[in-house]
Structure 1
Amino acid sequence: MVIVSSCTLLLGEDKHANLAAAFQDLQSKRVDLSSRHYKDVTFLLAYAAAETSFQWFFLPQLAEQAPITLGPLLDMATELGRYELLRTCIQAYRLLFVMKVNLADLPTRLAPYVILDRGDGRSLEWTKEGICKKIPDFQSYLKQQCTTLEAIEKAYQASNEAAQAARSKGQQPCLIGSIHPPRLLKQGYKVITSPQGFPPMVLSEEDLHAIALASCEAARILHTKGLVHRDLRFANIIELARRQYVVIDLESVAEVSSAALPGNFEQVLKTCTQSTLDPQRHYTEASDMYSIGILLEGLCSNTTQPSEALQRFIIQLKSKKLSAAAAVQYLGTSWENSGQDVMQP
């Protein structure tokens, strides 16, 4: 395997005797190539080898497309075969260099099987199954975050149910889900999340509209279950494809409670301010909507002058008078076409 800028460019399978088995294993590793990651690179290089046989392949962009045999089957038992292998390896690495310079510039993406340390022992690891998140000393984490494992489990269950409903309509999920329910192990908390995405690009008001819709729909899903996200910020949004966004990090979720948050909570949850909470220091559904308003307001600097409709929408979010359901209904028509303030249902 050859990985450049966290993108796999070459795959290989070696078997002791069975070339067909090597080819099948190669096929099992294939996934569609994201144009956001691979940009103008529309194929991978690959090889299958067994005993003295060696075969190069092109793997097309879509995993469902058949591999393309590249050149003849090489017999390394012969002098000519060994010469051809050396010659084609040189050509392959020249091609890899060309592929490298055509990759998208995404320095923050995770490399496969590399553990990203988030501090305090928390870690993320990209695996074939999904993103594996681990938090040690989870009981202390729960106490510090003023939440419970039950609330987090409830959030993932709600997300998975919503994702299933979305996919049945041919739509992408807007809230991170889990491959398996979160687990509390001896080493701490562990969950494998899906789908996998990458840091989003925000270049236009259309991008902002898509982020707003995903954020408000994610909030609506949680609020329907009596939950609040409490950490709706740009760092907790990933992009699946152009203008398809997903809200992540359900470990910040908590039940809506009448209990006042402790005085140091703003230091624990950096996105939380006195303005986010109500006068009694409660974090409510309206607090989530306020956070989305702050998120959109901060992103406006990445676009052209925001439209009046967008500015009105942000003001209403920050006023804490707009529910997630009303915001989703409004955004379904796009604020450009509405021309009026959002009305609560």
Structure 2
Amino acid sequence: MGGEPEPWWDRLIALPLSDGERGKAFVHIMSNDNMKALLANENATSETCVSAVRELLRLAAAAAQPSASPQVDASPDICWALVGPELAAPPLLPELHQFMTTPPVAKIPTTRSAMQLIRNHPIAAHFTVADGRLAEIVGHSICLTHTVGSPSEVDTVILEHTTVVQVIQTLDNALASGHRIGLQVERDKGDDTSLMTLVSPSGRSLRPDGVMRTLDGLRMLAKWEDKGPNHAIHDAVADLQAKTAAWTPLYYGNAQYLPCFAAAGSILQFYAIPRDLAHQPVPITPCVSMMNPEHRAELAMYCVKFYQLLKAQKEAYPAHVLPAAKDLVAVTGAAPEQVTRTLHFRTDRVVVQKRIQPWSLYARWTGTEVGELAAVYQATASAQGLVHAVAGPQVDDDKYTVVLQPVGLPHTAATPRDEEGLRRAAHALLHALAAIHAAGFVHRDLRWPNVAAAYDKTRWFLLDLEMCVRVDRACQPARRPPSWTTGTLVGNSYVAASDLYQLGRMLQDHRQHVSSAEGLQFMSLLASPAQELHDRAVTAQSLLAHAWLQCPGVHCAEVGAQPGETGG
């Protein structure tokens, strides 16, 4: 920030707090992103902010004091007893309601003050006074005094975070490292702060309000939606469905459903979104009020069971999935001249949205033109073996955007492991190059990172057409790609044979898999420099007739990215 005050600083200073409160709050808020976001939110009232700050200070003070004569030490062993035994598999959808509403096998640790609040309710039998971070957080949740006073979602988010998200996170953190998921919690901070704007035609955000992922930040284990008090719970549920309208094993593996929850005002309910075509969220708990201490205790029980469910879901995911509803960002160059590329795997439909910014700098580096990119995407729309544009490309405010399908596994998750796999990859990429070259373009960026595979890992296709230019003006770009060698160019130009030479270099990375006479002859042919391939009139189309590829010709449908294929 260059030493300039962040937006929440001024808001904290303006709040009607004592100097002592303000000073202590400053220290705690510095490491609390949720409080920063609340104070920076112009829709949050002064009363809401003061209440939240004082709750934060109360919790911090409680954490600094030793518990009075605890009966149980809320150690990792106690937390493990809560979520154990581990489920062999996630419960079937019809069994989820019973699973979620059956109390945990062990008592949930909480504080003495929380037990006092619920002591006359039967639910108290499932809690015990204890020490430790989980007991403090559960106690804070049950004793929460925050109310819904704003028509915005701010109060709902505070209640939800305190009674659900924070409890689940604390349970995860309290477990021994070998037993925890390592949950990563992400919230939608609004498209104005994102590198990628994702809205429906009506202007509604297509990003989930919140997501829980595995430690690597890739697998989506759960999601949620929030609405303010002027909405009913079914409005939040409708958002869950709309933002999960697309289902693909590339996102969720063989999972039968996606656990989630929805909140509106002070009401919250847990759901599961099934993988069937309707994707209608199914309630798996009763609705509960986050304003009622007994209901908040009930929520704590649901959180324990929900965490058990997430652990089972995690084990059901395959080793490689795409990060649904997440931005993948890559930056090239150094300030002030750097280009940011962003990919977002959408969940309202099975597509990936791509952005490059600033486009003017990227275009200067590469020599590409958006009009030519639109032309090559249009010319190859009915071709197989390469990604297709379903919207765009277009440039607005110096930002290039294109929506693409199909989606596929990155090459790191589907590297050819034998000669048959390498043959299939070469076959697919030659179909892609044949289509690009027939349209009068060259790709110029043939590398394994620009190759994807279908979920079955037997069909490949080419990505990243954003380096394509017309072959008659394919001179060297301002920034020469590091993958080019002395054998890449023909004279000073990048021609169709240059793509074939670069493809040959890619295939050489896996030459050890090739043992057949046809395969070795094919590899030897593509090892020739581009100038030699050009002089011998070797083309992508002629290579498709090579015996090693076994291409059936015009009726071929053996490669990835068939027209209309989504990857779903």
Q: Same fold (TM over 0.5)?
A: yes
Instruction: Tell me how far apart the structure 1 counterparts of residues 224 and 418 of structure 2 sit (CA, whole Å).
Output: 40
**Kept in 2: contact 1:237–1:245 (CA 8 A):** yes
**Kept in 2: contact 1:37–1:103 (CA 8 A):** no
Letter in 2 for 1:273: T
Letter in 2 for 1:271: S
Deviates more, 1:128-137 or 1:81-90: 128-137
Deviates more, 1:173-182 or 1:289-298: 173-182
The answer for the alignment partner of 1:337 in structure 2 is: none
Q: Alpha carbons of 1:149 and 1:12: their partners in 2 closer, same or farther (altered >3 Å)?
A: closer
Q: Alpha carbons of 1:78 and 1:136: their partners in 2 closer, same or farther (altered >3 Å)?
A: closer
Instruction: Tell me how far apart the structure 2 counterparts of residues 185 and 19 of structure 1 sit (CA, whole Å).
Output: 37
Q: Alpha carbons of 1:205 and 1:59: their partners in 2 closer, same or farther (altered >3 Å)?
A: farther
The answer for the alignment partner of 2:385 in structure 1 is: 174
Aligned partner (choices 378, 397, 404) of residue 194 of structure 1: 404
The answer for the alignment partner of 2:213 in structure 1 is: 3
Alpha-carbon displacement from aligned partner over 1:31-68 (angstroms, at most 9, x marks no partner): 55543454454421012333454332222234535444
The answer for the alignment partner of 1:343 in structure 2 is: none
Instruction: Tell me how far apart the structure 1 counterparts of residues 363 and 288 of structure 2 sit (CA, whole Å).
Output: 59
Shift of 1:96: 1.7
Aligned partner (choices 461, 466, 469) of residue 251 of structure 1: 466
Instruction: Tell me how far apart the structure 2 counterparts of residues 236 and 69 of structure 1 sit (CA, whole Å).
Output: 41
Superposed, which structure 2 residues align to 1:1-345 within 5 Å?
A: 1-4=211-214, 5-15=217-227, 16=229, 17-39=231-253, 41-74=255-288, 80-106=294-320, 112-113=326-327, 115-119=329-333, 120-126=338-344, 128=346, 130-136=352-358, 138=360, 141-159=362-380, 161-162=381-382, 173-186=384-397, 188-195=398-405, 196-200=407-411, 201-202=414-415, 203-242=417-456, 243-257=458-472, 261=475, 268-278=480-490, 280-301=491-512, 304-319=513-528, 320=533, 321-330=537-546, 331=549, 333=551
The answer for the alignment partner of 1:169 in structure 2 is: none
Instruction: Tell me how far apart the structure 1 counterparts of residues 324 and 286 of structure 2 sit (CA, whole Å).
Output: 36
Q: Alpha carbons of 1:297 and 1:113: their partners in 2 closer, same or farther (altered >3 Å)?
A: closer
SS of the equivalent of 2:538 reads coil
Instruction: Tell me how far apart the structure 2 counterparts of residues 245 and 84 of structure 1 sit (CA, whole Å).
Output: 49
SS of the equivalent of 1:54 reads strand
Alpha-carbon displacement from aligned partner over 1:102-121 (angstroms, at most 9, x marks no partner): 44445996871354324422
**Kept in 1: contact 2:374–2:392 (CA 8 A):** yes
Q: Alpha carbons of 1:78 and 1:185: their partners in 2 closer, same or farther (altered >3 Å)?
A: closer
Shift of 1:7: 2.4
Instruction: Tell me how far apart the structure 1 counterparts of residues 377 and 352 of structure 2 sit (CA, whole Å).
Output: 14
Letter in 2 for 1:255: R
The answer for the alignment partner of 1:167 in structure 2 is: none
Instruction: Tell me how far apart the structure 2 counterparts of residues 256 and 21 of structure 1 sit (CA, whole Å).
Output: 52
Letter in 2 for 1:133: R
**Kept in 2: contact 1:210–1:244 (CA 8 A):** yes
Instruction: Tell me how far apart the structure 1 counterparts of residues 463 and 478 of structure 2 sit (CA, whole Å).
Output: 20
Shift of 1:306: 3.8
Alpha-carbon displacement from aligned partner over 1:253-280 (angstroms, at most 9, x marks no partner): 12112x6845xx69712222222223x3
Deviates more, 1:280-289 or 1:143-152: 143-152
Identify, as 1 or 2, the structure richer in strand: 1
Larger Cα Rg: Structure 1 or Structure 2? 2
Letter in 2 for 1:322: V
The answer for the alignment partner of 2:140 in structure 1 is: none
Deviates more, 1:43-52 or 1:214-223: 43-52
Letter in 1 for 2:355: K
Instruction: Tell me how far apart the structure 2 counterparts of residues 141 and 75 of structure 1 sit (CA, whole Å).
Output: 52
State the TM-score, normalizing by the size of structure 2: 0.49
Which residues of structure 1 form unaligned runs of 5+? 164-172, 335-345
Shift of 1:289: 1.6
**Kept in 2: contact 1:53–1:74 (CA 8 A):** yes
**Kept in 2: contact 1:36–1:104 (CA 8 A):** no
Q: Number of aligned residue pairs: give it.
A: 316
Instruction: Tell me how far apart the structure 2 counterparts of residues 245 and 153 of structure 1 sit (CA, whole Å).
Output: 23
SS of the equivalent of 1:89 reads helix
RMSD: 3.2
Shift of 1:30: 1.0
Letter in 1 for 2:357: I
Q: Alpha carbons of 1:281 and 1:79: their partners in 2 closer, same or farther (altered >3 Å)?
A: closer
Letter in 2 for 1:162: S
Shift of 1:77: 6.3
Q: Alpha carbons of 1:176 and 1:71: their partners in 2 closer, same or farther (altered >3 Å)?
A: same
SS of the equivalent of 1:325 reads helix
Alpha-carbon displacement from aligned partner over 1:271-328 (angstroms, at most 9, x marks no partner): 22222223x3332212212221221121334xx4543322222223344253222333
